């Protein structure tokens, strides 16, 4: 702040989406949310990359698999058992684990691209997004 450097907030699920090749099918990006839950955000292909189609939410792998009724891509940090369960739904195509890993270089590239076009954030506008506040243990 004292040096007045630009700040750029990048949602973690965007870092998961970015390396996935654009496709006509929707993309669900997933991250572990603890206790068998997953943070999920849906994306659609746009000229400039994947664009979020709503707010992230928390679910579990069984509910996610049951909810998918059209051909979809899924990327994210999944366990072997989660990947196996999702593969039981023939409408789901899992993205390679290598492309589903969050990489610092992807984060840096997303931030650089936003900086180049002047998409910076005010410090007061940046805050963490908590998807499951106050849920019982």
Residue 114 counted as domain residue? no
Residue 129 counted as domain residue? no
Residue 95 counted as domain residue? yes
Question: How many residues in total does the chain contain?
Answer: 137
Lowest pLDDT segment from 21-25, 76-80, 86-90, 124-128: 124-128
Residue 115 counted as domain residue? no
| % of the chain residues with pLDDT over 90 | 82
Residue 127 counted as domain residue? no
Residue 111 counted as domain residue? no
Residue 33 counted as domain residue? yes
Tokens of 71: 């051909």
Q: Tell me, what CATH number does 98's domain have? A: 3.30.420
pLDDT of residue 110: 96
Average pLDDT over residues 117-137: 77
Give the contacts of 59 (CB within 8 A, at least 6 positions apart).
37, 38, 40, 67
Overall domain count for the chain: 1
pTM for the model: 0.89
Residue 116 counted as domain residue? no
């Amino acid at each position: 702040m004292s040096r007045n450097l630009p700040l750029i907030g990048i949602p973690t699920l965007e870092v998961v989406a970015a390396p996935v090749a654009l496709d006509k099918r929707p993309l669900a990006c997933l991250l572990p949310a603890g206790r068998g839950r997953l943070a999920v955000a849906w994306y659609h292909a746009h000229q400039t990359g994947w664009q979020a189609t709503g707010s992230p939410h928390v679910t579990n792998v069984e509910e996610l698999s049951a909810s998918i009724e059209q051909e979809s891509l899924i990327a994210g940090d999944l366990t072997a058992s989660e990947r196996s369960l999702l593969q039981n739904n023939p409408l789901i195509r899992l993205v390679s684990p290598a492309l589903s890993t969050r990489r610092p270089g992807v984060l840096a590239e997303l931030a650089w691209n936003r900086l180049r076009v002047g998409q910076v954030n005010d410090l007061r506008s940046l805050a963490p997004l908590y998807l499951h506040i106050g849920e019982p243990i």
